[in-house]
Amino acid sequence: MDTLKVRDAQDVEQVVRAAIASEQPLEIIGHGGKRLIGQPMATNALLDLSALNAVTAYEPNELIITVQAGAPLADVLSLIDSRNQQFAFEPMNTSSLLGTPDIGTVGGMIGAGLAGPRRIKAGGARDHLLGAHAVSGFGDSFKAGGRVVKNVTGYDLCKLLAGSWGTLAVMTEVTLKVMPRSESERTLVLRGLDDLAANKAMTAALGSPFDVSGAAHVPHSAFQAAAGGLAELGSPRQAVTLLRLEGITASAVHRAAALASALAPFGAAEVRQDAASAAIWSSVRDIEPFAADGALGAWPVWRIVCPPASGGALGQALARDTGGDVIYDWGGGLIWAALPPKPDAQAALVRARVDAVGGHATLLRAPEQIRRHVDVFHPQPGGLTALGERVRHSFDPKNILNRGRLDRRVAT
Amino acid sequence: MTIMMPASDQAVLGRRDSIVAALRAIVPGEGVIESAAEMIPYESDGLMAYRQPPMVVVLPDTTEQVSQILKYCFEQGIKVVPRGSGTSLSGGALPLADAVLLGLGKFKRIREIDFDNRVVVTEPGVTNLAISQAVADAGFYYAPDPSSQIACSIGGNVAENSGGVHCLKYGMTTNNVLGCEIVLMSGEIIKVGGKSAETSGYDLMGIITGSEGLLGVITEVTVRILQKPETARALMVGFAQVEAAGQCVADIIGAGIIPGGMEMMDKPAIHAAEAFVHAGYPLDVEALLIIELDGPGVEVDELIGRVEAIARSCGSTTCRISNSESERNLFWSGRKAAFPAVGRISPDYLCMDGTIPRGALPQALTRIRDLSEKYGLRVANVFHAGDGNLHPLILYDANKPGEMDKAEAFGADILRCCVELGGVLTGEHGVGIEKRDLMPEMFSEIDLNQQQRLKCAFDAQGLLNPGKVFPTLHRCAELGRVHVHGGKLAFPDIPRF
pLDDT tens-digit map of A106-135: 999 999 999 999 999 999 999 999 999 999
Q: Where do you find CATH 3.30.70.2190 in chain A?
A: 184-288
Candidates A129, A150, A203, A251: best to mutate against B (most CBs of B within 10 A) is A150
Candidate CATH numbers 3.30.465.10, 1.10.760.10, 3.20.20.30, 3.40.50.11750; the one for domain A48-180:
3.30.465.10
Q: To which H or E segment does residue B409 belong? A: helix B403-420
**Distance between CA atoms of residues B8 and A404, nearest Å:** 43
Please tell me the distance from the alpha carbon of residue B147 to that of residue B47, in angstroms, as a whole number: 15
Distances (CA, A) of B81 to A291, B5, B42, B468: 53, 13, 11, 10
Q: What is the mean pLDDT of residues B318-334?
A: 96
Please name the member of A209, A250, A378 whose beta carbon is closest to the beta carbon of B230. A209
- C-beta of residue B134 within 8 angstroms of C-beta of residue B141: no
Q: What stretch(es) of chain A map to CATH 3.30.465.10?
A: 48-180
Any CB–CB contact under 8 A between B426 and chain A?
A: yes
Cβ pair B299:A250 closer than 8 A: yes
With an 8 Å Cβ cutoff, is B137 touching chain A? no
DSSP-derived letter for residue A28 is E
Flag whether pLDDT at B19 surpasses 80: yes
* CA–CA min distance B57, chain A (Å): 27
> For residue A126, which residues of chain B lie inside 8 Å, CB to CB?
203, 206
Would the CB atoms of B482 and A138 count as touching at under 8 Å? yes
How many angstroms separate the CA of residue A150 from the nearest CA in chain B? 5
Helix (H) / strand (E) containing B237: strand B231-239
State the best of A89, A151, A362 to mutate against chain B, taking most chain B CBs within 10 Å: A151
Give how far Cα A400 sits from Cα of A22, A387, B32, B454, Å: 10, 19, 48, 18
Q: Is the pLDDT of residue B303 over 90?
A: yes
Q: What is the arithmetic mean of pLDDT over B57-71?
A: 98
Predicted model pTM: 0.96
Q: How far apart are CA B193 and CA B201, in angstroms?
A: 10
Average pLDDT over residues B334-362: 92
β-strands B99-103, B56-58 pairing: parallel
Q: List CB contacts (< 8 A) between B189 and chain A.
A: 383
Q: Kind and range of the H or E element at B311?
A: helix B297-313
Interface contact B446-A384, CB threshold 8 A: no
* pLDDT, mean over chain A: 95
With an 8 Å Cβ cutoff, are B495 and A309 in contact?
no
Write the pLDDT tens digit of every residue in A244-298.
999 999 999 999 999 999 999 999 999 999 999 999 999 999 999 999 999 999 9
Tell me the CATH number for domain A184-288: 3.30.70.2190
ipTM: 0.97
Residues of A in contact with B495 (CB under 8 A): 4-5, 7
For residue B491, the model assigns a pLDDT of 67
CB neighbours of B64 closer than 8 A, spacing ≥ 6?
none
Q: Which of B189, B74, B179, B123 is nearest to A384 (CA)?
A: B189
CB B382 within 8 A of CB B340: no
- Smallest CA-to-CA distance from B382 within B394, B392, B371 is with B392
Picking from B322, B141, B233, B304, the residue whose alpha carbon sits closest to that of residue A250 is B304
Q: What is the pLDDT of residue B268?
A: 95
Residue among B228, B419, B424 with most chain A CBs within 10 A, to mutate: B424
Of the CA atoms within 13 Å of residue B460, those in its CB half-sphere come to: 12
Q: Per residue in B445-483, pLDDT tens?
A: 999 999 999 999 999 999 999 999 999 989 999 999 988
Q: B63 pLDDT band (50/70/90 cuts)? A: very high
Provide the pLDDT for residue B336. Answer: 87
Question: Residue B34 — pLDDT band, cuts 50, 70, 90?
Answer: very high
Instruction: Give the nearest partner residue to B496 out of A3, A157, A385, using CB atoms.
Output: A3
Cβ contact (<8 Å) for A124 and B458? Answer: no
Give the burial class of A231: count Cβ atoms within 10 A of its Cβ; 0-12 exposed, 13-18 middle, 19 or more buried.
middle
CB contact under 8 A, B198 and A305: yes
**Contact check, Cβ <8 Å, B203/A126:** yes
**What is the SS3 string spanning B12-75?**
HHHCHHHHHHHHHHHCCHHHEECCHHHHHHHCCCCCCCCCCCCCEEECCCCHHHHHHHHHHHHH
Is residue B443 less than 8 Å (CB to CB) from chain A?
yes
Q: Chain A closest CA to B254's CA: distance in Å?
A: 5
φ, ψ at A95 (rounded to 5°): -65, -35
Instruction: Nearest by CB to B485, from A63, A139, A308: name it.
Output: A139
- Most A CBs within 10 Å: which of B89, B120, B198, as the mutation test of the A interface? B198
- CA gap B249, B264 in Å, rounded: 9
Q: Which of A146, A211, A333 sits opposite B424 (nearest CB)?
A: A146
CB contact under 8 A, B209 and A159: yes
Q: Report yes or no: B275 and B338 within 8 Å, Cβ to Cβ.
A: no
Name the strand (E) or helix (H) holding A388.
helix A382-395
pLDDT at residue B258 tops 80 = yes
Query: Is B65 a residue whose pLDDT tops 70?
Result: yes
Cβ distance A383 to B201 less than 8 Å, yes or no, reads no
The H or E element that residue A279 is part of is: helix A274-285
Query: Tell me: the pLDDT tens digits for A331-368?
Result: 999 999 999 999 999 999 999 999 999 999 999 999 99
Contacts of A381 in chain B (CB under 8 A): 191
A307/B196 CB distance under 8 A? yes
C-beta separation of A77 from A85 below 8 A: no
Q: Is B211 helix (H, G, I), strand (E, B) or coil?
A: coil
Q: Tell me whether B113 touches chain A (CB under 8 Å).
A: no
List, as ranges, residues 309-338 from B with C-beta within 8 Å of A: none
Query: What pLDDT score does A230 carry?
Result: 85
How far is residue B137's CA from residue B139's CA, in Å, rounded to a whole number?
A: 5
Read off the pLDDT band of A228 (50, 70, 90): confident
Please answer yes or no on whether A306 and B196 come within 8 Å at the CB atom: yes
R_g of chain A, CA atoms, integer Å = 21
Interchain pair B296, A255: CB under 8 A: yes
pLDDT of res. B488: 53
Measured between alpha carbons, how far is residue A325 from residues A221, A336, A362, B117, B147 in Å?
Answer: 7, 8, 16, 24, 48
CA dihedral B303, B309, B311, B315 (to 10 degrees): 180
